[in-house]
């Protein structure tokens, strides 16, 4: 058993209908698939992994100078064990960026504090241009996939466009998992909360996807991305598309694992549509139908901020202690 492999180049070919069928079934049955034919060269992918290696090779002092705890916008470096999943520390270090911009002058509602500048290490000037261009390239792939998903679900191609036109929520993680003598939580079992996630891995395995038969390995395939469905897209599709639980197991001792994870979310002020599927597709829904009253549909920015606070308690304590926001529950997710 293995994840399906889809070719995005077929979306613009005479085989479009076959591609849309395969896309729909992969997202319904697995919630995960490999993507090739995305237009980014293998050399470009390898160059980005080299850039990640260069960043993580910086001294602790250089990385700590851009620590996320300095940023009320949740951008920057997180040390090993500094992020939580389901309340447990993840054994990885990482560098997070989002949309590059200025801090919002009007910080109400509170989620507007997520808008602001990224942090960049002075000793690696190539990182800023490299990551921002990479983030935009991955965003373009996600937008094509969102059009494809719309058509695959019997909807107009642009039905999701209002969610990301103008100012989509872009979130890119550059990640290093150090080796361990025993299997540890590289990142704990979870579902992604947004629309789509793209993952690029180096040659080291570790990503696992939950299935009815147990954990399924998603080993690296050169030149591909691993794509998975987020909870907002699952909700919007009325449960047809599947947001699947997944995790990363730490590599063995003496080995490191590098990866990028790009999370495409809607605009923070967006309202996510609840799609009305054609009857034939409605009969194939395997998950629970979506509740139109679910606050995830209309409180996007609020729930993104709550999720970031839950994962980064030090940032919440430093920059949001003057509010009651951090103590509010997050809308039901996995």
What's the pLDDT at 299? Answer: 80
Q: Look at the block and give the residue holding tokens 């942090």.
A: 119
- Transcribe 25-65 into DSSP letters: HHHHHTSEEEEE-SS--HHHHHHHHHHHHHHHTS-HHHHHT
Consecutive 10-residue averages of pLDDT for the chain (334 residues): 96 98 97 98 98 98 97 94 81 94 76 92 97 97 98 97 86 94 80 95 96 95 98 92 94 94 92 91 80 70 86 88 57 33
pTM: 0.92
Q: Look at the block and give the residue holding tokens 């590599």.
A: 251
Structural domain includes residue 154: yes
Structural domain includes residue 23: yes
Distance in angstroms (rounded) separating the CA atoms of residues 331 and 334: 10
Range of the domain at 111: 5-324
Structural domain includes residue 333: no
Structural domain includes residue 227: yes
Nearest to 246 by CA among 187, 189, 177, 184: 189
Structural domain includes residue 331: no
- Secondary structure of 260-318 as H, E, C letters: EEEEEECCCCCCCCCCCCCHHHHCCCCCCCCCCCCCCCCCHHHHHHHHHHHHCHHHHHH
Structural domain includes residue 162: yes
Structural domain includes residue 332: no
Distance in angstroms (rounded) separating the CA atoms of residues 180 and 186: 10
What's the pLDDT at 292? Answer: 67
- The number of domains in the chain is 1
3-state helix, strand, coil in the chain (%, to 5): 35, 20, 45
CATH number at 23 reads 2.60.120.330
Structural domain includes residue 99: yes
């Amino acid at each position: 058993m293995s994840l399906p492999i889809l070719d995005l180049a077929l979306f613009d070919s005479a085989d479009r209908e076959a591609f849309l069928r395969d896309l729909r079934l992969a997202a319904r049955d697995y919630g995960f698939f490999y993507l090739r034919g995305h237009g980014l060269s293998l050399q470009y992918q390898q160059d980005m992994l080299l850039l990640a290696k260069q960043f993580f090779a910086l001294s602790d002092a250089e990385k700590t100078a851009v620590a996320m705890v300095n940023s009320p916008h949740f951008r920057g470096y997180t040390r090993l064990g500094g992020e939580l999943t389901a309340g447990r520390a993840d054994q990885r270090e990482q560098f997070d960026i989002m949309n590059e911009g200025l801090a919002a002058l009007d910080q109400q509602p509170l989620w507007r504090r997520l808008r602001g500048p990224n942090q960049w290490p002075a000793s690696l000037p190539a990182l800023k241009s490299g990551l921002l261009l990479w983030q935009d390239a991955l965003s373009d792939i996600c937008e094509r996939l969102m059009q494809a998903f719309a058509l695959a679900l019997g909807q107009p191609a642009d039905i999701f466009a209002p969610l990301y036109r103008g100012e989509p929520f872009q979130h890119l993680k550059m990640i290093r998992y150090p080796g361990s003598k025993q299997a540890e939580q590289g990142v704990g079992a979870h579902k992604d909360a947004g629309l789509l996630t793209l993952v690029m891995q180096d040659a080291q395995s570790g990503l696992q996807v939950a299935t009815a038969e147990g954990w399924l390995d998603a080993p690296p395939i050169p030149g591909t991305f691993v794509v998975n469905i987020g909870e907002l897209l699952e909700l919007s599709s009325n449960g047809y598309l599947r947001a699947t639980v997944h995790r990363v197991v730490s590599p063995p001792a003496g080995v490191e694992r590098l990866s990028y994870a790009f999370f495409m979310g809607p605009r923070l002020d967006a309202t996510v549509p609840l799609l009305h599927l054609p009857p034939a597709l409605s009969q194939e829904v395997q998950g629970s139908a979506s509740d139109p009253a679910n606050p995830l549909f209309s409180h996007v920015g609020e729930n993104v901020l709550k999720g970031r606070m839950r994962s980064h308690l030090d940032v919440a304590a430093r920059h949001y202690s003057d509010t009651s926001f951090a103590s509010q529950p997050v809308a039901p997710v996995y």
